[in-house]
Structure 1
Amino acid sequence: MAAAQVSKAKPSAANTVSWRDIAPSAVVLITGPEEYLGIRAMDRIRSQVRTVAPEVEISKLNAGSYESGSLAMAVTPSLFDEAKLIEIEGLESMTDAFLADAMKYVAQPENDVVLVLRHGGGVRGKKLLDAIKSSGWPVVDCQPLKKDAEKTAFVVSEFKAGGRRIEAEAVQALVNAVGASLSELAAACNQLIADATTAVDAATVERYYGGRVEATAFKVADAAMAGNGPQALSSLRHALATGVDPVPLVAALAAKLRTLAKVAGAQGSSAQIAKQLGIQPWLVEQAQRDVRRWTPEGLIRSIQVTAEADAQVKGLSRDPVYAVEHAVTVIATSARGR
């Protein structure tokens, strides 16, 4: 098959490839703990192989329960000489038998076979991973997306791939609402892409996901940071009455204050500050507008009271609701300090 033919031409060093760009090769290594990205990478390879060879024979093995000789059996040419795709998961718990067989195979892979290896992380099998990397086979590193900038870039890329536009504020609203889980964030992108007929704006995201815990938390935080105490407390009490835990509410307050403090102490244009801090330029511009309402003393006091509330909602207080209300009140009052 075409994919296997080009796969023999190996680069001289490890070829790290994005999960969005990975193509079939004689050997492909997918590493890292982010399960969703690993699934997307494997799905992409499988889809491309099937496009080139619709009758491809697909075999699935688990390295954690592997028995000697299984790989050799899987790659043995079939009666009709069909292309083969071998997917092996669980390399992080591989057996010694698998390590021995895989080391031998990757040194001289078969024609018309695409071997995809999934390693979830850890040191088990490092010898095999190093051999694959040093041989120059493509490697996809699936690390968790922890920063907001990484999640917003993911959303923008999903919409670009889906042929839909999404406004910057809608991107952030979507990350706030469902960004805790990458698989949920991707599912939300897919739903909005499928349903939208025009550019997706923040109001659309609000209609779909405004009731999520994360979205509710940021509504409270946004109102408090804007100095609107009555609205912040009203949103907070509604959230608590509907069963929202105080912990994510305090986390949203802390996140907003951290961004404000970082931007307040940064120098340069919004684009330079955004690059330096790893956040979106429009968020920097918003924080720059917001910080004008604050005194340094008010910002410090708000950070302190939020840290106290964080400890109290995590077990140091018998009345966590009061702790959150007090933090919201202090922040809203401080935001009107100028």
Structure 2
Amino acid sequence: MANPFGKILLVTGNSEFLSDRAKRQAVAQVREAAPEAEIAETAASALAPGEFTALTSASLFSQATAVVLTDLQDLGEQVAGELLQYAASPSDDTAVVLVHGGGAKGKGLLDKLRKTAAVSEVAQQAPKYERDLIAWVRQEARTQGRAIDDEGAALLVAAVGSDLRSLAAAVDQLVTTLAEGERLDATVVGRYFGGRAEVRGYEIADAALDGRLDLALERARWAESAKVAPLLITAALASGLRQLARVATADPGLRDADLAREVGAPPFKIRSLRQSARGWSEASLRQALDAVAHADLQVKGGSAEPGHAVERMIIDIAVARARTS
């Protein structure tokens, strides 16, 4: 374990969950290194001039101390001067953790801290695209000693959404629920999360885009009986069609991995989308997108019975696809 004392950990990035977790891990490291350490945590904006210097000064009650400053971007100018002065010559008995909330505010202070030898930075950027979320889920499982494949991770993202806190909790649930040696894959994810509304929308979209009309309608009726919000289904179809359109119009010479980066989907899904794209033309894709937009307006405006609007949309998509075949 690295010694956290005499050092400054700078946590930056736009993910509140990841930054909070990095902060908690840093505090845990301090407690492990020195259980008796005094730990003071405060928002940077709450510090008056002189208070940071006081917090990092020797304590009468404990030899080791730790100071955690959150929302570093809100630190006052005078206190920022104290911090930079301290960073130039940190105390061997003090650990400092600084958490910056991301964005341009406070960039000047960050730049100066990054040039200081005592400062080490941990950047916490939230995954932006679906493929990044899938990779994040796979890494999350690995840190808990289990492996999950791309398909299982993609299904979990579809089920839970892009909120990292919820995804981390879902991975933790799967890992702690599985028996020793049981494979963590799409079958297992479907068993525990297959009832989520988003997964149903994703499954309906896949069937519709592949031209499996009977299966798409069957799943849509099942979703209606389970009180799935129609907006989730129209959103899933819209997202699937947009990805399909990008794949269909891409350079056919692009490798799956390169196209995945452009589309924002995992490579295994690109292979599926490329196969589906063979049944579509530019005109049929436009017609299908129009059908989704029309259904979305009907559902939001209440001008049609939602279940009927969703089924009509699925049929119109099937008709559009059939005209290409």
Cα distance in 1 for partners of 2:107, 2:261 equals: 34
Is 1:203 the counterpart of 2:219? The answer is: no
Calculate the TM-score normalised by the size of structure 1.
Answer: 0.84
CA contact (8 A) 1:229 1:328 kept: yes
Calculate the TM-score normalised by the size of structure 2.
Answer: 0.87
SS of alignment partner, residue 102 of structure 2 = coil
Partner residue of 1:3? 3
Cα distance in 2 for partners of 1:277, 1:77 equals: 54
Shift of residue 4 of structure 1? Answer: 4.6
Partner residue of 2:163? 181
Partner residue of 2:197? 213
Distance 1:56 1:271, change over 3 A: same
Cα distance in 2 for partners of 1:115, 1:219 equals: 48
Cα distance in 2 for partners of 1:124, 1:271 equals: 35
Instruction: Among all aligned residue pairs of Structure 1 and Structure 2, give the percentage whose two residues are the same amino acid.
Output: 35
Offset from partner CA, 1:52-102 (integer Å, 9 cap, x none)? 333332211111222232222222223476332211112233345533432
Cα distance in 2 for partners of 1:154, 1:330 equals: 36
CA contact (8 A) 1:28 1:117 kept: yes
CA contact (8 A) 1:68 1:98 kept: yes
Cα distance in 2 for partners of 1:52, 1:314 equals: 56
Cα distance in 2 for partners of 1:314, 1:32 equals: 36
Partner residue of 1:284? 270
Residue correspondences, number = 318
Is 1:113 the counterpart of 2:112? The answer is: no
CA contact (8 A) 1:102 1:128 kept: no
Shift of residue 178 of structure 1? Answer: 0.6
Offset from partner CA, 1:208-255 (integer Å, 9 cap, x none)? 111112112112212212222233233323334443333222121112
Residue 171 of structure 1 is aligned with which of 147, 153, 160?
153
Cα distance in 2 for partners of 1:93, 1:313 equals: 44
Partner residue of 1:14? none
Once the two structures are superposed, the pairs formed by residues 112-261 of structure 1 within 5 Å of their partners are 112-135=93-116, 137-196=119-178, 197=180, 198-261=182-245
- The one-letter code matched in structure 2 to 1:139 is E
- The one-letter code matched in structure 2 to 1:105 is Y
Shift of residue 320 of structure 1? Answer: 7.0
Distance 1:112 1:229, change over 3 A: same
SS of alignment partner, residue 3 of structure 2 = helix
Once the two structures are superposed, the pairs formed by residues 66-105 of structure 1 within 5 Å of their partners are 66-79=47-60, 82-105=63-86
CA contact (8 A) 2:40 2:55 kept: yes
SS of alignment partner, residue 66 of structure 2 = strand
- The one-letter code matched in structure 2 to 1:319 is A
Is 1:274 the counterpart of 2:227? The answer is: no
Distance 1:114 1:279, change over 3 A: same
Q: What 5-or-longer segments of structure 2 have no aligned partner?
A: none
Partner residue of 1:319? 304
Distance 1:123 1:295, change over 3 A: closer
Residue 41 of structure 2 is aligned with which of 60, 64, 82?
60
Shift of residue 149 of structure 1? Answer: 1.0
